[in-house]
Structures are given as structure tokens and as C-alpha cells.
Amino acid sequence: RVRDVSCINNTGVVAIEECSGSAPDALEPCRPQPCSQGQYSATSWGACSATCDTGTRTRQLMCTDDQANTYPLETCGGEPPVTTEQCATVPCDSTDVVEVQVMRSALFVPPEVPVLESAYPSFAKAIAKTIEADASSVDILGVESVPVDGRRLSLTPRRLASFQQRIDFELILQDSDAGGESAAADRASSSMAAFSAAKFVDNLRTSLTEDGQNEIAEGISD
């Protein structure tokens, strides 16, 4: 943006050279940041880098709009999601090693259900309750918007009516005295096969309300 800079004495406006001192700037930037063209979205979390002690896992960021156009990350608006996090594992020097099995699965919810990252714990609790698993055994990996024709597209703030949301999650099954790891896996597989969408919706509303996510809970229809 620009402005006029003048030199004025008691007779009026005179030549700029007659003024002493430094003249004020006549030109300055008014939009120092790049224009925002899209919103951040993230892929699902990758595998943990370690099998014991503490490792890390990463995910990729993208900048997209509601028409699936992609832009450079530096032109994206808002705060970017984290791309690296620690993943908890069994201590390497533990004498009480627990065998675990990790099952990856997904469920689909309508596009109008607001799946926000802040509500992931509530979704994990609802999934666990629906498949009768321990809440700490479910880990939400990420959310993607999947069109009806199967073409994949990262989740964007505006969801098209022909899209459904896929919630990817991990189910961590620990060995137990009652039948061991395979029995736990069999129970989980059986629960997933009998997964009830209606029961999940009820459990989700309850979990969101318990966690103070009332606005999201009220936006979920049967």
C-alpha cells in the first residue's frame, strides 16, 4: 500500500528536499504472508519406528481445497497438524514381556458427522465399547473422506454429500491368561464382524457427552 509524503512549512507545501531528517516510508507491504488457498489435511499415521521402549511414527501433510486441488503447504491457512508423535511400546528391558497383536481396521461414518482430531479419544472409546474391547486398546490413526466410487481423497473442511468418512484405527490385543493372544484376536474379529452401526452411534453420543464434546454430539443424527 502507498501514501503521499509531503514537506510542509509555514507557507504551505514545499519541495521534499527542503525537509530535514528522514522522510516517512511512502510504501509498505500490507499482506506479508502468502494467500491461503486451502486447508491442512493429514494422512493416517505410519508404523511405529520401534518394537520396544519408545519409538516415533509420522504422517504426511497436504494442503487441499474442497475440489481436491492441491497447493504448496506454505500457502495453507490455519495451524498445521502435528506430523510426528511418540508411540508407546513395551520396555525393552522388561522381565514381564507381554505379547501383543495389532489389528488394523476401519469404520465408515456419514459426511455430516464432524470427526475432529480433538474428539479422537471419544471415537476410540465408542469403538471400544461397541466391540466390547478395552478403551485403551483402540488408537485412532486418522480420517479420510472416501467418495462413493472408491477414489480416495484427504479430508477437507467441506465434505461433499457423495462422500463417506473412513476412520482408520488400531486394536492392540494383549496376551491374557484366558486363552492368550489368539483368543483375544478371535474375540475381536468376532466383535468386528457383528459391529452395529446403530450401537456405535449411541455409544459415540455418550462418549462425546462424557468428554465435554456436546456440540459434536448434538450434530450426530440417527
pTM: 0.47
Residue 70's SS3 state is strand
pLDDT (0 to 100) of residue 84: 92
pLDDT in tens, the chain (222 residues): 888 888 888 888 888 888 888 888 888 887 655 565 778 888 888 888 887 778 888 998 888 877 778 888 888 877 888 999 888 667 776 555 455 667 788 877 777 677 778 888 888 888 888 887 777 888 888 887 776 554 443 434 344 445 677 888 888 776 544 444 556 566 666 766 667 777 888 888 888 888 888 877 776 765
Q: Using an 8 Å Cβ cutoff, are 102 and 45 in contact?
A: no
Q: Which residues contact 87 (CB under 8 A, 6 or more apart)?
A: 48, 49, 50, 54, 55, 56, 57
Q: Which residues contact 177 (CB under 8 A, 6 or more apart)?
A: none
pLDDT (0 to 100) of residue 9: 84
